[in-house]
């Protein structure tokens, strides 16, 4: 008996190897696709990161502008630091310029009539006693006639009264004749005086030729605020034909919210600027009257006397004002250092020290603008900028803003 050894069959290994060899191209294709997908994902991530970096870089330079030494000299760029100054804290309010009631005059025709002529226009300056219009009324003739007749009767009644008084003293005539003559004389005297008063009220003459027109005159000087008539128009005694305003004693009327009234006191300084003044020039007044009533809008009227009269000011002009309530020491910059753009306030900060030969980059920094006084403005920096030793552009800031925005438009 021969002993032998058993060798396992290798056919399965051969078949497996053959299978791999047959599908090798497919495996290689799948590996290639997987590698390609990974490369595309990495490429996409790289491109996204690059785009983000570019966008961040663009955003970083959007608030910066670089000037050469020559451009700095041409723009008169000058640097400075924040200066601690005592500034007035106060209540910001709105209001209007107004006049006292005695400085606003409404003119009407006391007896009415028809406007015969007028040459006034709104805004015309008039003096007291100047003719504003000529009024025609047929009743004027009757008024003058009645007055002249009464005056003639009064002359006769006076003579009769004096004659009866003399006869009574001589005891020639009875007392009742004297008393009757006295009563008639006094009644005619009263009637004549009343008619004369009506003529004076209408501006009609009390004697001479009888006329059917009268001149309507200005009771006070000033400017014509309103003209409410035209030639040929029929008017009544209650119609306001003209309004005349005297701007010599303007006052500022402010609307202060109820919550701020406890801070307001008589005598406080009021700094205000006109709403239609593009320069923003400030004028001053002082509080002299605080109303004791609250309107439906929960505001209180505060009146201020102007410290200086100005003929250019017009009643009804809108004003923005600050009522000074206290004084605080705050960081400030010259008003020229703060620029306005898009409704916000900004300042420029130098990134490096300015020299006569090198270029300097300036950065635009948003700030909160506070009280302005004597050419300086309170400036509150963002938290990220506070405490840094910054150098601010105090002259030429608007030149930098113009160059910055022009560069953005070119891009």
The CATH number assigned to the domain holding 96 equals 2.40.30.170
Which of 268, 281, 288, 373 has the alpha carbon at shortest distance from 320?
A: 281
Domain boundary among 328, 353, 369: 328
Domain that holds residue 316: 91-101+246-328
Residues 291, 401 share a domain: no
Cα 73 from Cα 71, distance rounded (Å):
5
Q: Is the distance from CB of 242 to CB of 107 less than 8 angstroms?
A: yes
Q: What is the pLDDT of residue 71?
A: 82
Residues 121 and 221 in one domain: yes
pLDDT value of position 387:
80
pLDDT for residue 193: 93
Tokens found for residue 357: 């030969």
Q: What pLDDT, on a 0 to 100 scale, did the predictor assign at position 114?
A: 93
User: How far from each other are the two terminal CA atoms of the chain, in whole angstroms?
Assistant: 102
CATH of the domain at 79: 2.40.420.20
| Look-up of token digits 């150098």 | 391
Q: Is residue 40, in this structure, part of any structural domain at all?
A: no
- Taking 50 as the pLDDT cut, the residues of the chain under it are 1-14, 16-17, 39-40, 43-44, 46-61
Q: What is the DSSP string of 293-326?
A: ---TTSEEEEEEEESS--TT--TT-EEEEEEEEE
Residue 300 sits in the same domain as residue 345? no
**Is 38 among the domain residues?**
no
Q: Is residue 15 part of a domain?
A: no
**Is the distance from CB of 173 to CB of 160 less than 8 angstroms?**
no
Q: Is residue 5 part of a domain?
A: no
Q: Cα–Cα distance between 167 and 75 in angstroms, integer?
A: 106
Domain tally, the chain: 4
pLDDT value for 50: 42
> Are residue 128 and residue 221 in the same domain, yes or no?
yes
Q: Is residue 190 part of a domain?
A: yes
In a domain, 127, yes or no: yes
Of the residues 209, 231, 258, which one is the last residue of a structural domain? 209
Domain-located, residue 273: yes
Give the residue among 178, 179, 180, 190 at the shortest CA–CA distance from 154. Answer: 190
Dist. CA 202–CA 140, nearest whole Å = 8
Considering the domain architecture, whether residues 220 and 291 belong to the same structural domain is answered as: no
Shared-domain flag, residues 201 and 292: no
Q: What is the predicted pLDDT for the residue at 132?
A: 92
Say yes or no: 195 and 164 in one domain: yes
Q: Which residues, 6 or more positions from 295, have their beta carbon under 8 angstroms from its beta carbon?
A: 255, 301
User: Does residue 367 sit in the same domain as residue 274?
Assistant: no
Structure tokens at 212: 């059917």
pTM: 0.51
Contact 324, 88 (CB under 8 A): yes
Domain shared by 219 and 315, yes or no? no
- The distance from CA 168 to its chain's CA centroid, rounded to whole angstroms, is 79
CA atoms 41, 45, 48, 54: torsion sign: negative
Q: What is the CATH classification number for the domain harbouring 235?
A: 2.40.50.100
Is 116 within the bounds of a domain?
Answer: yes
| One domain for residues 312 and 296 | yes
User: Do 260 and 355 belong to one domain?
Assistant: no
Residues 260 and 363 in one domain: no
At residue 38, the pLDDT reads 52
Residue 21 confidence (pLDDT): 55
Cβ contacts of residue 313 below 8 Å, gap of 6+? 97, 247, 250, 274, 306
Task: Considering only the C-alpha atoms of the chain, give the largest distance between any 2 of them, rounded to a whole number of Å.
Answer: 208
């Amino acid at each position: 008996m021969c002993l032998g050894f058993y060798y396992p069959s290798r056919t399965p290994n051969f078949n497996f190897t053959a299978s791999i060899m047959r599908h090798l191209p497919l495996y290689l294709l799948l590996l290639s696709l997987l590698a390609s997908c990974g490369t595309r994902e990495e490429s996409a991530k790289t491109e996204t990161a690059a785009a983000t970096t570019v966008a961040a870089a663009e955003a970083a330079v959007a608030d910066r502008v670089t000037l050469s030494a020559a451009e700095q000299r041409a723009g008169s760029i000058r640097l400075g630091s924040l200066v601690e100054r005592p500034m007035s804290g106060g209540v910001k309010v709105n209001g209007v310029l107004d006049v006292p009631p005695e400085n606003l005059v409404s003119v009407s025709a006391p007896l009415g009539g028809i406007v015969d002529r007028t040459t006034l226009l709104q805004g015309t300056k008039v003096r007291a006693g100047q003719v504003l219009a000529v009024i025609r009324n047929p009743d004027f003739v009757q008024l003058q006639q009645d007055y002249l007749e009464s005056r003639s009767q009064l002359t006769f009644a006076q003579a009769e009264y004096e004659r009866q008084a003399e006869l009574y003293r001589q005891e020639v005539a009875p007392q009742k004749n004297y008393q009757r003559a006295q009563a008639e004389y006094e009644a005619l005297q009263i009637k004549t005086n009343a008619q004369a008063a009506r003529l004076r009220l209408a501006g009609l003459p009390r004697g001479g030729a009888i006329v059917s027109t009268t001149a309507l005159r200005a009771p006070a000087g000033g400017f014509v605020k309103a003209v409410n008539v035209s030639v040929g128009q029929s008017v009544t005694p209650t119609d306001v034909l003209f309004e005349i305003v005297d701007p010599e004693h303007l006052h500022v009327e402010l609307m202060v919210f109820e919550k701020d009234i406890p801070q307001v006191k008589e005598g406080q300084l009021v700094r205000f600027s006109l709403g239609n003044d593009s320069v923003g020039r400030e004028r001053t007044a002082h509080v002299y009257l605080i109303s004791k009533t609250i309107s439906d809008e929960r505001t209180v009227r505060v009146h201020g006397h102007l410290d200086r009269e100005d003929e250019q000011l017009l009643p009804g002009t809108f004003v923005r004002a600050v009522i000074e309530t206290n004084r605080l020491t705050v960081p400030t910059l010259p008003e020229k250092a703060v620029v306005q753009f898009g409704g916000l306030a900004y300042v420029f900060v130098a990134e490096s020290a300015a020299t006569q030969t090198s270029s300097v980059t300036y950065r635009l920094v948003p700030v909160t603008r506070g009280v302005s006084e004597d050419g300086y403005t309170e400036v509150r920096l963002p938290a990220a900028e506070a405490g840094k030793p910054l150098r601010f552009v105090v002259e030429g800031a608007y030149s930098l803003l113009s160059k910055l925005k022009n560069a953005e438009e070119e891009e």
